[in-house]
Chains A and B, each alone.
Chain A
């Protein structure tokens, strides 16, 4: 993977910029020692690392504004960073950049249950937002797997999803407003605790722009009343195709589960060895979760199990209580840890139309044999968001490259069948060079035009999202 060559002119600004930053930030908010900047050398895409020139940790919107104004004046690129959990390299630094971390911005600014919103500083973790309101019976719906660690800032940058977005939508559907600092230091307010935009929907394009349009420091988020209860059912099948057909029939029947999770045999095998959740020995399994009062849950589960029965399931295991539910989710929730114990892996994030599920799983199997690398699948089946895990050995020469080549081929397959490269992780650097496979030059040009307007000098997270060749003329 290629990154722009560091600019010696920018590198030479390190000392004067550091001196200027010291005038606007407390000393402990500026990190310049190479031993310490190393802590920011990568995010959760650990295959790529590069310590930044400087890292800063502002605590207020004003401090963020001061930092950006200075970097703008010195012509230094800025890479915003939430909690560093991006799987796509969204927060990967370059040698000549300033990392701007929001980790010190963790205050709750306002909570209003009548109007169903909370306003927070964006360094708060996703789960702590729910933590703040759940005592009063509310929750924040988007629930990415990394929710214990990931920051709202990163959720907004990547438009993060989660297991429960089948019912509640992803970040963009739950974001009402932002305070955002532009690259030149100007602070703007977009939206607020009311619905929809009076003018152009700038909020809609800021969400998911991977930190390239501005640094979001505060966010107004929609919160919802917690359902009375939730209960999963586990259904095992002797083939991926029947499991896929069952997903389609559940959706078509009009039941709206909050989650439909899918695991294939390699994944079931690995998680059983790791967590011992007692999953049935089968080719594919679904975990379908519904919400409501006990009677409402029974009503929905009876429809779902009746549908599943028509597909010759190997086993149907309905949860009878909290302990059962926890056991059913145990394997799914430990899937990534289980895979990590067997091997190194990369996790893909392509989305496909649900109807293409059997075809795509079949082709993936062929690719696995062709490349000699094992693939395990665990994903959100209700919305077609796949998470193939390709296993490789990082200590074996060339294995990572083979794995990446196979990953690219799987993503191209997703696009071919009418899907997309990434459903919830974002493009970052990881899928940057595949963008031209999904989009024509005019499509990319329209997206880059938006960045031109928000950040005319392309200083914010410049080497991400767009193929370097496409953005070359714009980056100085």
Chain B
């Protein structure tokens, strides 16, 4: 079942890097989804008391009409589909760590949307992650 997904190439066949690019797209979408969830979290919501059923409906309605929250979760769901498609044809041990790239996009988007600043540590972290993912790309095209 799994051998079909990761054929040992005979050396002459160069494996496609397409799954890698798909996960790359995933990380961008995941970061935007994260930003949407953060916007959604800033929406006011009525208090929920689990013991009091009367508070359930207003709470659920508030969540369902919270557009950034709904779009954020929707984006995460679409993202999962793209990730699954990528996993079908690529190595898990290469594709899964590439997901760390979303940390980089979240840092950059937080700067833009929430005015969070980058400091030395964050810059260093971003550089290291990009280096690591770049190395995975190299490993992937050689595999």
Question: Are the chains A and B members of one assembly?
Answer: no
Residues of A within 8 A of B (CB): none
